[in-house]
Amino acid sequence: MELDENEVNKYLQPLFGQYEDSFQEAWVEVLEHNPKTVDEIVPIAKRVRNRAIRRYLEKKYKEESLQKPLRNGGDEKFTLESILASPANDDVGEKCEGSNALYEKMVDFLIGEYFKQKAENIKLGRRDIQIKAKRLRLREELLKFKKARFESWRKLMEEKGRQKETQNRLKIELLRDKLEFQRKELLRKGKAKAAS
């Protein structure tokens, strides 16, 4: 290499730091390309720096995606990390190796969650049916109570109507008797006047 090592170090250290992996990668790239001037180191340094940034972002994305909820609802128990850490998936890793292992773990976890949710829905459906049956029984009892109350009210009104009718009949008979008595009194007074 025609360039001085100190000169290359001075250029690379501010970009990568002395003890970073990317610093070492940049040195390897510089040695492979054997640049003649510092200007030829610039594209090598940029390439290595961009690769390091890309690796960092991919790593950060993977870490975040493990914690990020899989559904829009934001339910924290459905993260990729919880799927991989689920006890149902412990034996899956032993059975299958390679790129399909992760997908098989995910499928097993999601199928398990589906069946749990389905069982819970069935339980809630039964509870809903019991509540509806209880509501119908209470409604039936309420209707029976209202019917009995209406029947007793109707009987009371009929009894009051009969009493009122009897009372009116007695008033009419009393008035009739009173009028008959007054007529007889007037006739007797008229005969007594005519006789005198």
Q: Does residue 35 belong to any structural domain of this protein? A: yes
* pTM > 0.75: no
CA distance 49 to 179: 128
Above 90 in pLDDT, residue 139?
A: yes
Question: Who contacts 41 (Cβ-Cβ below 8 Å, separation ≥6)?
Answer: 3, 8, 11, 12, 30, 35
Q: Does residue 103 belong to any structural domain of this protein? A: no
3-state secondary structure of 83: helix
Q: What is the average per-residue pLDDT within 50-71?
A: 70
Q: Does residue 120 belong to any structural domain of this protein? A: no
Give residue 34's pLDDT band: very low, low, confident or very high (50, 70, 90).
confident
Q: Does residue 38 belong to any structural domain of this protein? A: yes
**8-12, 23-27, 191-195: range with highest mean pLDDT:** 191-195
Q: Does residue 95 belong to any structural domain of this protein? A: no
Provide the residue range defining the domain that includes 14: 1-67
Give residue 37's pLDDT band: very low, low, confident or very high (50, 70, 90).
confident
Q: pLDDT, tens digit, for every residue of 69-124? A: 655 555 555 565 565 555 544 444 444 455 566 677 777 777 888 888 999 999 99
3-state secondary structure of 69: strand
CA distance 80 to 77: 9
Q: Does residue 58 belong to any structural domain of this protein? A: yes
Q: Which residue has the tokens 């990568």?
A: 16
Indicate the number of domains in the chain: 1
